[in-house]
Structure 1
Amino acid sequence: MADLNKILLAEDEPALAEIVKETLELKGFEVIHTQTASATISKYHSSKPNILVLDVMLPDGDGFSIAKQIRQTDTQTPIIFLTSKSLPSDVVTGFESGGNDYLKKPFSIEELSIRIKALLSQNRLVFSPSMEKKQPIKIGNYSFLYPEGILTLNGTQRVLTNREAEILQMLLLNRDNMLARNTILNTLWNYNDYFSGRSLDVFIAKLRKYLKNDASIFIISIRGQGYKLVY
């Protein structure tokens, strides 16, 4: 079970990295620390972490680029960004590059720990190999296999990230009915704040893009309240 708590931490501020590493280790995590983008990619491949905590600004690159590279072959391992950037465009960039969560500096180590545990718990629950395999669900001309997150159209498959698959499944379970925005945020993020809300907006936009090749499918935004999947 120890391997399920392995964290890859990319942070180039030595003092902050030491505090985060020591605190998380006291909470039972195994923490592998890197200070550069190149070292992070190398350690990711050699150590197979269960979650990545990436500083956005690194000496030889940035966390967004690391996430994009990892997401080319790995859509499941959760990624949390640590950054002093807080513009809406930065938040959008973070989630579009494949992030699952976004924590603005300065942050509470306790909050980071809670978010890590939440993402690890969701990852284990959704993708546990012991779960009974289900038949694909038809969404218009698409088929969707959950919890694997495989979206198929005319034989072409797209593997969704954990969070994309979870949101689409929630929309499917509430088909033709409004799914409250607060329900999604509190269920999947355990938070209902600005950054979580912006990340949800990005994921909804991505799902619309993935489903655009069937004109009968709509994810309707109900202003200030939630979303409705119709087809």
Structure 2
Amino acid sequence: MFTKYKIILVEDDLDFASILKRFLESNGFEVTWATNGADALVLFQNDSFDLCISDVMMPVMDGFTLAEKIIEKHPEMYFVFLSAKQLPADKIKGLQLGADDYIVKPFDTNELLLRIKNILKRKEKLDFSTHKQIQIGSFCFDAKRSILYNNSYKYQLTEKENFLLAYLIANKNQLVKRQDILIAIWKSNDFFSGRSMDVYLSKIRKYFASDPKIKLESIRNIGLELKEVHEKE
């Protein structure tokens, strides 16, 4: 269920990170490892990730600073902090930064796995009860109010458009199968549902037409990919 997800692990303890990386990969995740926050920030400029697992105390750039910089550009990013610091104030600071969890070392890897899976379940459901807005290119997507807007345009989305766009953004920069989208949103993958989805996809392409950094690409008979292209700094 979770094999499609990409995790970036930021940890300066080489032995611990190597073991944790192998454990996560053995459970189906694709894992990229950085030894400090600065290196992780470079990786974020050239790739996309679904979840960041970061130590707090690291050389060059600590985990809290890394989170601040990443969330500024990618407010939809999911974060888990790992730390030997047990003071309540440290945990509160991590959660205030927007972290989804804060786990104190040492910990059971199976517990970490369960926490990760719970976070990703929330990601898949895309809880619309939150007021959190997601930035994509020049646009801001407000799922709570079913609005997609930027400085020049504002689109009031229908319910189906809202769910379809939310699903695509949740799987941004990943190839998703047509049948998976149809089952998730239309509850059917028959011919008529497929034609209906194509109509809504056409509308979403028109909404993003003014932003060259956003592409909704179709791969015939396979699936779709919503791409957000970042300029290399």
**CA deviation string 1:204-225 (max 9, x = no partner):** xxxxxxxxxxxxxxxxxxxxxx
Are 1:78 and 2:78 matched, yes or no?
A: yes
Distance across 1 between alignment mates of 2:117 and 2:49: 14
Report what 2:10 is aligned to: 10
Distance across 1 between alignment mates of 2:146 and 2:52: 25
Distance across 2 between alignment mates of 1:65 and 1:5: 24
Report what 1:101 is aligned to: 101
Distance across 2 between alignment mates of 1:150 and 1:61: 37
- Overall identity of the aligned pairs, in %: 31
RMSD: 2.9
Distance across 2 between alignment mates of 1:150 and 1:78: 22
CA distance 1:105–1:150, shift in 2 (3 Å): farther
Q: How does 1:145-224 map to 2 (within 5 A)?
A: 148=143
Whether the aligned pair in 2 keeps the contact of 1:9 and 1:31 (CA below 8 Å) is: yes
Secondary structure of the residue that 1:107 maps to in structure 2?
coil
Whether the aligned pair in 2 keeps the contact of 1:79 and 1:100 (CA below 8 Å) is: yes
Q: How does 1:68-147 map to 2 (within 5 A)?
A: 68-126=68-126
Letter in 1 for 2:143: E
**CA deviation string 1:107-163 (max 9, x = no partner):** 111111111111111111116xxxxx99x9xxxxxxxxx9725799xxxxxxxxxxx
The TM-score with structure 2 as length reference comes to 0.54
**CA deviation string 1:180-219 (max 9, x = no partner):** xxxxxxxxxxxxxxxxxxxxxxxxxxxxxxxxxxxxxxxx
Shift of 1:3: 7.3
Distance across 1 between alignment mates of 2:53 and 2:15: 16
Name segments (4+ residues, structure 1) moved above 6 Å.
none
Report what 1:61 is aligned to: 61
Secondary structure of the residue that 1:9 maps to in structure 2?
strand
Report what 1:45 is aligned to: 45
**CA deviation string 1:58-93 (max 9, x = no partner):** 111211111111111222121000000111110111
Larger radius of gyration: 2
**More deviation, 72-81/7-16:** 72-81
Secondary structure of the residue that 1:92 maps to in structure 2?
helix
Report what 2:214 is aligned to: none
Secondary structure of the residue that 1:4 maps to in structure 2?
coil
Letter in 2 for 1:65: T
Distance across 2 between alignment mates of 1:55 and 1:7: 14
Letter in 1 for 2:37: A
Whether the aligned pair in 1 keeps the contact of 2:52 and 2:80 (CA below 8 Å) is: yes
Whether the aligned pair in 2 keeps the contact of 1:67 and 1:97 (CA below 8 Å) is: yes
Distance across 1 between alignment mates of 2:80 and 2:145: 23
In structure 2, runs of 5+ residues without a counterpart are 132-140, 148-233
Shift of 1:36: 1.2
CA distance 1:149–1:82, shift in 2 (3 Å): farther
Whether the aligned pair in 1 keeps the contact of 2:9 and 2:53 (CA below 8 Å) is: yes
The TM-score with structure 1 as length reference comes to 0.54
Distance across 1 between alignment mates of 2:111 and 2:126: 22
In structure 1, runs of 5+ residues without a counterpart are 128-132, 137-145, 153-231
CA distance 1:149–1:55, shift in 2 (3 Å): farther
Report what 2:222 is aligned to: none
Whether the aligned pair in 2 keeps the contact of 1:4 and 1:50 (CA below 8 Å) is: no
CA distance 1:3–1:69, shift in 2 (3 Å): farther
Whether the aligned pair in 2 keeps the contact of 1:7 and 1:52 (CA below 8 Å) is: yes
